[in-house]
Each structure stands twice: as structure tokens, then as C-alpha cells.
Structure 1
Amino acid sequence: MKKYLKYITIIALGAIVLSCDNYVDIKTEGRLIPEETENYRYLLQNSYVYDLTYGAADVASDDISFQNEAQTTALGASDYYRPFVNFYKWADQIYFDAEIDYNMNGMYTSLYNTNIVINEVMKSKNGTEAEKLAIKGEAQVHRAYIFLTLVNTFGKAYDATTAATDLGIVLFTTPTVSEDIKRSTVQNAYDIILSDLNDAVNSGLKPINSGNNVAFPSRASAYALLARTYLYMRNYPLALENAQKALAIQSTLNNYQDFEFNAFPTRRLDAELILSKWNGYTSFSYAPQILSLSNELINSFDTNDLRYVLLTQPSSNFNSEYTVGRTFAKEGITGESRNGGPTVSEMMLIKAECQARAGSGELAMAEINKLRQKRFRASQYTAMTATDSKDALIKVLAERRRELMGQGGFRWFDLKRLNKEPEFAKTITHVFGGQTFTLAPNSDRYQMPYAPIYFEYAPNLQKNP
């Protein structure tokens, strides 16, 4: 196998296991027959390969602030935490020359497998056309999620006037590789994402997957990712339409008051979760200081808000030397990594934002209050109001930040898209080790740098500025 395959196709585990052969050439304990539809179902059963996201981007956002001197000393001295510190400082280089980007590797491993299914399942044997189409639809949802996440991590924010020339990501759509590996455009990525998701909603997917099956794509998840995609494209009418379609299928909210004295739900029990996408490699369960929250974010909370009460903790709880601040601590109370997949609450926030942008401020606030009621004790809840649609939009975006804090790259991607609007463009600062780092709106640093090792094996892979 060519050496660059291991790194630039980023199929890492998939390459090692599958080599350069098709999955259908593999038999499992002599039981599976090559080229049968059942093979592709088994390939998608390995949720560990698909249930992940690019979680390191959370550290780069203005949600995070390393405020404790002891914290910065410890982080600065640790080789393990060095990449997270570099994300925090928006460094030109995140990884050492010989290091791989485990977040990106994991997602391209997943992509390799999804491409096998998408390209081969419809030609497989001993399965009905409906079965094959649904299996392909699942893989298309996974691929759309991968491309949407990666293009918003490494590419520019979508801008209809420049997307056709803005650098995006490497778009593998087959399980084979060209030696001349180059990045495509942002528009190309979004074209594939939309095509995959529009195919998926008509592919015969189950309406909802929950419990042990929440990592498997459903029709609700395909609509939800369409809503997210159109939001990032700033196509608000279509974002609203698809958020409403997702909510028409799945709309149950958790009542946080139920969890004050009971365990917070894991993903298997989380009624709001539409599709699980874990922050696998970047799990901070044992390093909560990485998700120390900024004062700006913390001060935006009503202290009776149960998201504040349950999902954040004083930094001093984790180290007696930490004297200030609070930390996002959801992983500690669930025992699981954070989620970047779509949820009912995200769809409600998209719906409310689009309503406010369309001039329906009252409808937007009604949707936000429906969500907020489940985030407070009933006796302490006061409905939020807005003076007009513009005020409603400001309040919806603030609510979105609180609800989606610390997970899934949501805030980082929101900063990128909102920088396109002068009234929401924001300069952010991070302080580390006595140095102040500043990130201007639309800065080139909003495109994460590729790990240097990949250029060794793909010399024509274009760098971010």
C-alpha cells in the first residue's frame, strides 16, 4: 500500500483493516457471503467508526477562557495538552511535524467506509431495493455530517459570492485515491452535502432512531442536518423549512428539573438526541480544565438556569489551585463525551433564529420560551420577551450560545458565519502565559491549519494562509 494512503486518505484504521481491497471481499468467520447486501449493513453497524466529530474546535471559541495561572502553567508544560493550547492560541501550527491530527484521521476513516457503502451497496446481492436504498441513505447522512463538519473547520465560512473559489477540503467520494490530492472548493463540499441529505430523506430511513440505535441515521437526522447546512449557508427560509420537518418527526424535550436529584441522561436515554456524534478523541472527562468557560458566557446565565447549575461547575472543584471561573462539566456527570450531532433543542433554536430573521419576533420568542421552560425550575421561570424582531434575534443567538456551549464546534462555526454580518462580527481575545492573542473577524485563522505531516505525503495539498 502506498505510504501516503495511510496519512492522506486518512483511512488509518480503515486502511489497516481493509487494505486496498473492497469490504465485500471480507468474510466474517465464514458466515458472510461476498457482495451480499448484508455485508453493507454489517459495515454500518460499527458505530464506533461513525459516531465521532471534530471536537477540538471548541477550545478555539470565545466560550473558553483559561483564567487560572496554575491552569496555564499545567497546560503549557504538558505535551498531551499542547495541541489544545495551540487551538486556544490560534497558532499557525497545531501539531508537531511528525504528528497526525487524530480528529481528522477519525473522520476520514469514517468517510472511507461510508464511500464503500454509497458506491457499492446498490449493486449488492440478496437484498431488496428498499433495503439497499435505506442502507445507502444512512451512509449519505454520515458522509454529509463529515463534510459539513470538516469544511467548517478547515474551510472558510460559506459565502455565496465566493464559495465557488474559496478553498474547502479534500472531497473523497469513492473508496479509491488519486495520487494528486488537492482540496476542492467550499461550494463543492456543500453541493455534495445537500445532494446526500436530499437523497437520504427519500431513502426509506426510519423516522427516528433512539436508545441503543441513536448513532444510526434517521429521517429526522437527515432533515436536521439539512437545517444545519442551510443555516451555515445563511439560507434561512430553507433552514426553517427543514428544522420544522425534523421537529415534526422528533420534538421531545428533556425537563432539566427532573435531573437535579437524578442522573443526567446518557445518549441512550436522551430524548432530545436525534443523532449521536461523539467528541471521541477530544473527550475532556479527565481534563475538564480544557473547557474552562469565559466570564462573558458565564455572566450571560441566570444563576437559576439549570444548565448553569447542572452543566457547569466551579473550576476549584477540579483543582484546589484554581481560584476563579467555572468549567463545562457535562462529561463528568454523564460519563460520556460531548455530542456534536443534531438535537431537538438545536432545531428549535434554528427555527427561532429563522423566524426572527424573517420578522416574526413573537413566534421566535414563543419557540425560545418553549425551550427555556425546560431549563428552569417551574417556580423560578419567567418568560423572555423582545421589543422587536431585531431584539428577538439577539436574544435567540444568546440562547443558542448557552444551549450549545462547549460541544460540537457550534460556537466556533457560529462565530465564522456571524462574522459575515457586520452587526454580529466580533474580535475575540485569549490570554495564555501572560500573552494576549487576538482573532479578528474573518481572520485566516478561522481556517484550521493542516498537520504538517500530510504535506509530506500530498505535496499538492493546499495550505491555509
Structure 2
Amino acid sequence: MFYNKYKIKIAVVAILTLSFGSCKKDFLEVVPKGVAIATKTTDYERLLNDLNLNLLGSVSQIAMSDELAGYAPLYGPGLGILNISDQKAFEYQDDIYLPTENTSELSQLEKQLYTYNKIINEVMNSKEGNDIQKKALRAEALAGRAWVHFMLVNYYGKPYNAATAASDLGVPLVKVADVTQNTFTRSSVQAAYDLIIADLNEAIPDMPGRIISRHRMSKAAAEAILGKVYVYMQQFDKALPILTSSIANLSGASISVGLHDFNGAFSTGGAFFPVNPFTGPNRTNMQIDKEVLYLKMFINYYSYILSGIPVSKQTAELYTASDLRLNFFTASPFPPTGAVYPNKMMRCYGRYGNMGVNVPDIYLLKAECESRTGNLGEAVAGLVAFRKTRMQNNVANAADVPANIASDKIALTKYILEERIREFATTGERWWDMRRLSVDDTYKSTVGMVHHVYDASGNITKSYPLKSERLTFRFPQYIMTANPGWQQNP
């Protein structure tokens, strides 16, 4: 692959060996020892069942999100910040990774891209399966490839801007599984979005309708991704019917999929019960969390114990006292010493880390699209229904949208964007919103452009401004060394 072809060769052998560890002996005997070659339709299904397709590594965008602040007593690698790279990300430095590091956000995504391409290009010629089975597997892989390219272009390409996307540099679009290929060219952002949309439109008709596993792509998940792609392109009229269809396709699932009602989830015997005073609600098992539709899991220590970059005062003030999501926050840093954050800042704990498809995201994107397209009544109704699952049901009108906001398109859209912060604080989701909103003339003012670090008394000790260029990651040095002809991002 264009990132590091030698590492990919090793990774692919490891993935295939792991995936086919339970294969029959006669299957393994036809290939060199230690290597498995997919030939049967069931072999390609095993590739889709590989847990490596559901795991992610580095997720620096969490530290870059604007809902956070720095807490000086714990501001540094250790119990405050995961590593130096995350600290540099919080400070919006140009280069997050040290020149000697050879891992980044690319590392796991590049391996997944290889597997998806292998299935896309080979499964239709596999043995024993029928065409319906083969098309369904290929559709899953197409949607998986689209998701990977979507992540990559939103890490390393500029935010989508229709006026400049055709000339803005994106990422190489890899459509073959060939570890010998060593020449790659960065496509435009527009070309990336065109391929992502084409892959999803081709995949969805053949996608399994029933949701059988959080590890596998479904029609509802693929539609959610496509809807989100159109939101990022500011084509809200196209996104709305697709997101609506995604929600409709959540029904009839073989597993529990939908929204938690936090009123019950935080009660005795509920899904999030008990709440540990140090590590938070009991919500770390994404395998059974009904709000996870499609799993792309990462370890999020900022929603667990790391205490150096809590949510800011401005973020904390977005919550009202009746908001049950406050159960995911504590005013006490970890480890407990009796200290309390200043300025209403809070540490998040007990939240899952999934960068795939989450049910709340679909509902909130749908409400945003309804508001932006002028369907204010539908947007308010959907938003209130969503908020009823988050607010204390014994507090009158707690979930309601204020009347002066409900009747104003811009105010309502801003309120929905704030609801997204309330819902996803410290998960990294805000970073993607910051990128897309930065090129939206009406709502770019909602993007925070500075990170502050506060001392124990609440005084600012340092400030780190966000340059527009840092809404796009620079490629790590090991990538540039392997691709000397590439133009580095500013």
C-alpha cells in the first residue's frame, strides 16, 4: 500500500492467517505454509468477520475538538494526556507525530482498505457460493471501502468545499489489493467524494437488510454513511431521505438496535447501572450497546480516566440540570485527591469509543437536515423525541425546544449543533463537525478557534489558536519518506 508496503505485506499475512485459522486442512495445503488464499465464497465471508476490520488505532481528533480545555495540574502525558502526540494535537501543532514514529491514524485504516479491495475484486469469482451471497459480500466490502476513504479524506484533505474540491488535494484512492504497487498519487477531494458516493450507491441495493451483527455492515449503516457524506457536502436535501431510510431500516433487526432511554438506563438494573464513582457508568461493552449500529472501535481514555483535557466551561454550560448525560461527567480529576476542576469544567467517564455508525448520530443528522431544508416542525418533533431519551422525564418540559428557537431556522440549526456537542462531547465527533462547519458561511462562527489551559484556580496559563490549515492533518514523516513525490499539506 502507499503508506508502507512492507508493513502491509506482514499485516495481510497475519490477517489472513488469523481469519482462516479454523479452515480445513485441505484448504491450507494448496498454498505455501503459513499463508491462506481465499477461494471459496465462505472464505471471503471469513475476511469480513475479521475483528481487525472493527478496530482502530490512533484517534488524535479527540484532543483537537473545541469542546475541551486544558487543566494545568495534569496537562501532560501520564494521567492527564495519553501521549506527546495528543498533547501536540491539543496545541494544534503542525506536526502531531515525531519524525521517528511510524504509526498514525493511517495504520489500521490501510490494512482494512486492503481487505475490502480483495473482497471487492475477487469474491464474484469465488467457488461454491451463489450470486446473491457474493453480491451481498461485495456490497459490504464496497461500503467498508467507502467508509475508509471517507475517514482518510477527512483526515488528510481539506474540508469539502464545492468551489475548490476539484483542486484540493485529498488522498490516493486505492481500488486494488496489490502489495507490490509502490506508486501512488493523491487524488482531489472531489474525486474521493465521487468514489465514496459511487461505492455506497452500488452497495446499498445488494446490502443485507436485516441487521445481524454490529461487526458487519448493514443497509441501515451504509445509508447512514451516505447521508453523512452528503451532509459534509452541504447537500442536505439529498441527505435527508437517505437518513430517514436508515432510521426506518433499524427496525426488524436480529440484535437490539435503537436509542437508549437514559431514564431507565441509569436506574437500578438499567444498561448503565451501576455508576462507578471513579470510572463512571457501566458502558464499556460496545458489543451489546444498542446505540452502536456499526462498530469501528477505539480505546478512548478521555472518556475514562485521563483528566488533563476536560470539557470546557462553555461546554459544561450547554447542559441543564435535568440532562441525564451529566451522569457521564464528574467534577473530580483522576486519581481522586479531593481536587475539583475550576470553572465548571468536567471530566468525561464511562462512554464508549466507536467511530463507525452510532444511532444517535443518525437521528441528530436527520434533525439538522430537516432544519436546514426548512422543515422546522419535523426537525423540532424529531429533536424533542430524541431529547426525551436524554432528559429526566419527571421534569416538566425538560426536553422541549424553546419557542423562539423552534421557529427560527438558523437558531434551531445552532441548537441542534449544540445538541450534538452535548451528545458526543469527548468522543472526537465534534472534530468532524468543526471541519464541515468551517466552510459553512452561516455557521462557521460556531467553531471554537482556540484551546485554553487553566490552572487550578481557573486562570488561563496558555492559549493555542487553531489555524484553518490545522483542520487538515499533515502526513507523518514516514509516509512522506515513502512517497517523496507527494506535496505535503500546509
Q: Same fold (TM over 0.5)?
A: yes
Determine the structure 1 residue equivalent to 2:319. Answer: 301
1:28-47 aligned at under 5 Å gives the runs: 28-30=23-25, 32=27, 34-47=38-51
Structure 2 unaligned spans of 5+: 29-37, 252-257, 273-282, 455-460
Any idea what SS the aligned residue of 1:431 has?
strand
Whether contact under 8 Å (1:97, 1:453) holds in the other structure is yes
Whether contact under 8 Å (1:348, 1:371) holds in the other structure is yes
- TM-score between both structures, scaled by the size of structure 1: 0.88
Cα deviation for residue 390 of structure 1 reads: 2.2
Determine the structure 1 residue equivalent to 2:260. Answer: 254
Aligned with 1:419 (options 438, 461, 472): 438
Whether contact under 8 Å (2:58, 2:105) holds in the other structure is yes
1:253-292 aligned at under 5 Å gives the runs: 253-260=259-266, 261=268, 262-264=270-272, 266-280=285-299, 283-284=301-302, 287-289=305-307, 292=310
Greater CA deviation, 120-129 or 429-438?
A: 429-438
CA distance in 1, matches of 2:389, 2:154: 30
Structure 2 residue identity aligned to 1:125: K
CA 1:161–1:26: 2 relative to 1, 3 Å: farther
Determine if the alignment matches structure 1 residue 438 to structure 2 residue 465: yes
Greater CA deviation, 172-181 or 120-129?
A: 172-181
Cα deviation for residue 283 of structure 1 reads: 4.7
Determine if the alignment matches structure 1 residue 70 to structure 2 residue 73: yes
1:375-454 aligned at under 5 Å gives the runs: 375-382=390-397, 383-385=400-402, 386-407=406-427, 409-425=428-444, 426-432=447-453, 434-440=461-467, 443-454=468-479
Determine if the alignment matches structure 1 residue 179 to structure 2 residue 174: no
Determine the structure 1 residue equivalent to 2:223. Answer: 223
Structure 2 residue identity aligned to 1:428: M
Name the structure where helix makes up a greater proportion of residues: 1
CA 1:423–1:75: 2 relative to 1, 3 Å: farther
Structure 1 residue identity aligned to 2:484: P
- TM-score between both structures, scaled by the size of structure 2: 0.84
Deviations 1:239-280 (A, max 9, x none): 101100001111632100112233425323322222111124
Any idea what SS the aligned residue of 2:353 has?
coil
Structure 1 residue identity aligned to 2:86: F
Whether contact under 8 Å (1:194, 1:226) holds in the other structure is yes
Structure 2 residue identity aligned to 1:162: T
Structure 1 unaligned spans of 5+: 332-336
Greater CA deviation, 46-55 or 248-257?
A: 46-55
CA 1:316–1:7: 2 relative to 1, 3 Å: same
CA distance in 1, matches of 2:92, 2:357: 27
CA distance in 2, matches of 1:417, 1:297: 19
Determine the structure 2 residue equivalent to 1:242. Answer: 242
Structure 1 residue identity aligned to 2:464: F
CA distance in 2, matches of 1:6, 1:26: 27
> % of aligned pairs identical?
26
Greater CA deviation, 379-388 or 343-352?
A: 379-388
CA 1:10–1:139: 2 relative to 1, 3 Å: farther
Q: Considering only aligned residues, what root-mean-square deviation do their CA atoms show, in Å? A: 2.7
Whether contact under 8 Å (1:272, 1:343) holds in the other structure is yes
Cα deviation for residue 84 of structure 1 reads: 0.4
Determine if the alignment matches structure 1 residue 61 to structure 2 residue 65: yes
CA distance in 2, matches of 1:84, 1:221: 30
CA 1:102–1:381: 2 relative to 1, 3 Å: farther
Any idea what SS the aligned residue of 2:192 has?
helix
Greater CA deviation, 155-164 or 426-435?
A: 426-435
CA 1:107–1:12: 2 relative to 1, 3 Å: farther
CA 1:290–1:151: 2 relative to 1, 3 Å: farther
Any idea what SS the aligned residue of 1:374 has?
coil
CA distance in 1, matches of 2:309, 2:144: 27
Determine the structure 2 residue equivalent to 1:339. Answer: 354
Cα deviation for residue 163 of structure 1 reads: 0.9
CA distance in 2, matches of 1:167, 1:338: 29
Whether contact under 8 Å (2:372, 2:409) holds in the other structure is yes
Q: May I ask how many residue pairs the two structures share in their alignment?
A: 445
Deviations 1:123-172 (A, max 9, x none): 11111011111111111121111111121111111111111111111221
